[in-house]
Amino acid sequence: MSPETTLDKPTTPLFDPETFDRYVMKTYGRFPIALTKGKGCRVWDDRGREYLDFVAGIATCTLGHAHPTLVSAVTQQIQTLHHVSNLYYIPPQGDLAQWLVEHSCADRAFFCNSGAEANEGAIKLVRKYAHTVRNLENPVILTAKASFHGRTMATITATGQPKYQKNFSPLVPGFVYVPYNDIEALEATIAELDAEKPQVAAILLEALQGEGGVRPGDLDYFQRVRQLCDEKGILLVLDEVQVGVGRTGKLWGYENLGIEPDVFTCAKGLGGGIPIGALLCKSACDVLSPGEHASTFGGNPFACAVALAVCQTVERENLAENARDRGEQLRTGLQAIAADYPDLIAEVRGWGLINGLVLKEESSLSSIDIVKAAMELGLLLVPAGPKVVRFVPPLIVSESEIDRAIEMVREAIASVV
């Protein structure tokens, strides 16, 4: 154990899961550990056991845990002004918006609290644009099968996975699903919907499907989608909630695809673990007026000051480049493991530091089996569906930590096989 990981280890657990479950709704299937401390890419449970964290709050803790810049930003802003209403100008909000606009294809930003809220805002923007600019009576938004856009009613409807929609009907109308990376299916769907009169208002896609199995977007597909949108006046909306802010090895996921969206959303990594979401758009579709959309907590001084510190650190410390290099290292190591288990592992895929180890469908093992085995060894991973193990460590992860994670994955697979 390195010197930085020496913490006081309690002799008995500090946490009682039975008491927790007595008072908290059981909306999560929790693993049987209680995390209480973190530093860098490592976390500790209530027993003092150390884990290498390749979950990072599910692609959220951009700077890892207890990063000095994050600690400083949190401390300074909470001692100054943490919340006021958007009835007034909020300087940190303007500063964050300026940074995001100057480092992306967007012209305007709206702030909220989460990725789901950012996507809700995008859906509202699309519908107003459809009604007021294109005069569409019943606008339709196309989304991809196996996508994930959030847990609100509109965003689970936008999510092309029936398992998230079960028992929550009636769903929100106005969404049609198409296969991801299938341009022929997309063109056929648009032709069918627009046969009598235009209906398709927007195409909402992830640059890389995260919850859907870590599926990167195809370059040719997305370039044709951009062309179709330009030809037909359709808005292209990209959900960057999981892949934005450097995770893919570039600042934004769309940069891997050689296109620019009209609208995109981000959250997760934007605040480095402090809740914040953002809806960004080009000026041509900046149609929301005062009173039409709002968020009580969105864009408050605290969240924006922290998010700006995260963004500036990503830029200053070249963390997108680190994500690219460490991602290549991780994929190389996982591919070597895959070569040793050809009957178990189908492929390794991803960009930067969002990667998936894909198990063969016919395998008797699931992603949960490997996640649990890795956890026993001190490595935290997360599933992305029943057959994909997801790797999303903090962007500060080191070469030695990647090497250690690869060793642990190999040992975990050996233990379950």
Residue with tokens 């995770």: 247
- As a whole number of angstroms, the distance between CA 55 and CA 271 comes to 16
Same structural domain for residues 201 and 118?
yes
Residue 237 pLDDT more than 60?
yes
Residue 265: strand pairing partners: 239, 279
Structural domain harbouring 380? 3-60+318-416
Task: Tell me phi and psi for residue 279, to 5 degrees.
Answer: -110, 120
In a domain? residue 252: yes
pTM score, whole prediction: 0.94
Name which of 11-25, 97-111, 177-191 the model is least confident about.
Answer: 11-25
pLDDT tens per residue across span 161-182: 999 999 999 999 999 999 999 9
In a domain? residue 65: no
The arithmetic mean of pLDDT across residues 203-216, rounded, is 97
Same structural domain for residues 15 and 143?
no
Residue 3 pLDDT more than 90?
no
Residue tagged active-site, from 53, 111, 128, 268: 268
| 20 in catalytic set | no
| Structure tokens given for 66 | 């207890």
CA angle, residues 86, 87, 91, in degrees to nearest 5? 55
The arithmetic mean of pLDDT across residues 338-347, rounded, is 97
Mapping DSSP to helix (H, G, I), strand (E, B) and coil, where does residue 42 land?
strand
Q: Where are the beta strands (DSSP E) in 115-168?
A: 140-144
Residue 11 pLDDT more than 90?
no
The pLDDT assigned to 9 comes to 52
The pLDDT assigned to 1 comes to 38
Residue 2 pLDDT more than 70?
no
Residue tagged active-site, from 45, 239, 262, 369: 239
How many structural domains are present in the chain? 2
| 232 in catalytic set | no
- As a whole number of angstroms, the distance between CA 204 and CA 84 comes to 32
Mapping DSSP to helix (H, G, I), strand (E, B) and coil, where does residue 203 land?
strand
For residue 375, which of 14, 16, 36, 53 has the smallest C-alpha distance? 53
The pLDDT assigned to 5 comes to 43
The pLDDT assigned to 13 comes to 62
The CATH number of the domain holding residue 308 is: 3.40.640.10
Going by the DSSP 8-state scheme, the letter that residue 186 receives in this structure is: H
| Structure tokens given for 341 | 């288990």
| 230 in catalytic set | no
Which of 273, 293, 316 is a domain's end point?
316
Same structural domain for residues 247 and 382?
no
Q: Are 126 and 172 in contact (CB under 8 A)?
A: no
Residue tagged active-site, from 148, 175, 264, 302: 148
Residue 302 pLDDT more than 80?
yes
The CATH number of the domain holding residue 47 is: 3.90.1150.10
The pLDDT assigned to 12 comes to 60
The arithmetic mean of pLDDT across residues 323-341, rounded, is 98
Q: Are 380 and 389 in contact (CB under 8 A)?
A: no
- As a whole number of angstroms, the distance between CA 416 and CA 132 comes to 57
